[in-house]
Chain A
Amino acid sequence: VSKPSDLVQGTLDLLILKIIALEALHGWAISQRLKQVSGDVLQVSDGSLYPALHKLEQEGWITATWKPTENNRRAKFYELTRAGRKELERETANWQRLSNAITGVVKLKEA
Chain B
Amino acid sequence: MAVATAPAPSATLALPGPPGPVDAPSGAGASRVALLLAIAADLMLFGALLAAYFDVRAGATPWPPHHVKLEDYLGGVITITVAMSAFSVQWMLSAARRDDRRTALVAMLLTLGLGAAVVNAQTFEYGKVGFSTRTHVYGSLYHLLTGYYLANVVAAAVVLAVVGVRVAAGQYGSGRVDAVRGAAHLWQFTNLVWLTVFLVLYVVK
Say if A and B assemble together. Answer: no
Q: Please give the residue numbers on chain A whose beta carbons come within 8 Å of chain B beta carbons, in ascending order.
A: none
